Amino acid sequence: MNILLYRDLSPEQVTRLGRDFPSMEFRQTTRRDDLAPDWAEVIFGNPPADLIAKLSRLRWLQIVSSGFDEYASLRDTKIVVTTAHGVHAPIIAQHALATILWFVRGQPHLAERQRAHVWDRRPSIPQDLARQTVGFIGYGEIGRALARMLAPIGPRLIAVKREAAARPAELAALSTLDGLDELLAASDHVVMTLPLTPQTRGLLDATRLAGMKRGAVLHNVARGGLVDEAALLGRLTDGSLGGAALDVFAQEPLAADSPFWDLPNVMVTPHLAGHHRDLGISTLERFRANLQRYRDGRPLLHVADFSRGY
């Protein structure tokens, strides 16, 4: 069985895989030119989607991301796609907590004052998160992890999700997307964690963005395609929104001339909310567990459901 490791793994990690799975042949590369069309049965990593159709022997693709919209062309093919669903949730929640606190404590303004060497102690600038409402658009593993971090601080937590569910104790309210407008009007912070699907693309359109509470902050750690970026830019530049923490964009990398870079009330991060220096260990362990199942003929874990989009 031929396994292609499309990842920057250490020699020790590759050696251990070979030792643990002696009947398999492993090759490692991060170069698209090394993707031989008739060699790999299994790939670990996120190879360029446009090359997948040329890999005639490929039967299983284990990606290292939770989202798999870039591989939509594999729907109804012989290739099984498994994801890193859940691996990134704790660190994405930490990232969202950091961006919420950044805005709550007035850091955009205070950082600007620091650069200008101005000692500005106006008490109206920082806010108290315990007196605010955080609204989640999407309430899966990321939302629950973030809610656990926020609960001891004491803000009101509300959420909407695509399917009806019982309200968990940590939430003051939970509804389907039918309640989205109400959530937007009530929330001081709106956290986007929904997957991007045909049903959710453009969910925060101009009308819904116009319905966001004045002074609210949008935190998008999901996908850029969920938001009408032009309409968002309008509300950020006219001052009616307090700010935005944007880790994802409709087109990535974000263009160097994008106005989002220079807005003082916007935090731009390069799609790394789910990343940390030890993430490779977690994703490799996910692959190792699934490789054992593949070898033994057992069902794989975290198979991408293209009909649901996650």
What domain count does the chain have? 2
Radius of gyration of the chain (CA): 22
What's the CA gap between 201 and 178, in Å, rounded?
Answer: 16
**Residue 252 is a catalytic residue:** yes
Is the same domain home to 50 and 100? no
In degrees and rounded to multiples of 5, residue 262 shows phi and psi of -105, -5
Range of the domain at 174: 89-268
Reported as type and span, the H/E element at residue 297 is none
Is the same domain home to 131 and 222? yes
Is the same domain home to 99 and 38? no
Is the same domain home to 93 and 83? no
Cα atoms in the Cβ-side hemisphere of radius 13 Å centred on 130: 3
Please report whether residue 25 resides in a domain.
Answer: yes
Check residue 276 and report its DSSP letter. Answer: -
Please report whether residue 141 resides in a domain.
Answer: yes
For 13-69, write each residue's pLDDT tens digit: 999 999 999 999 999 999 999 999 999 999 999 999 999 988 999 999 999 998 898
**Residue 276 is a catalytic residue:** no
What's the confidence (pLDDT) of residue 292?
Answer: 98
Please report whether residue 208 resides in a domain.
Answer: yes
Residue 310 pLDDT > 90: no
Given the residues 112, 148, 252, 293, the one annotated as active site: 252
Provide the pLDDT confidence category of residue 283 given band limits of 50, 70 and 90: very high
Check residue 24 and report its DSSP letter. Answer: S
**Residue 219 is a catalytic residue:** no
Please report whether residue 309 resides in a domain.
Answer: no
Is the same domain home to 143 and 202? yes
Is the same domain home to 247 and 114? yes
CATH code: domain of residue 47? 3.40.50.720
What's the CA gap between 8 and 70, in Å, rounded?
Answer: 20
Tokens of 95: 């990232």
Please report whether residue 180 resides in a domain.
Answer: yes
Please report whether residue 303 resides in a domain.
Answer: no
Is the same domain home to 229 and 151? yes
Is the same domain home to 69 and 170? no
Angle (nearest 5°) at CA 218 between 166 and 248: 100
Is the same domain home to 197 and 262? yes
Is the same domain home to 24 and 135? no
Given the residues 144, 156, 271, 275, the one annotated as active site: 271
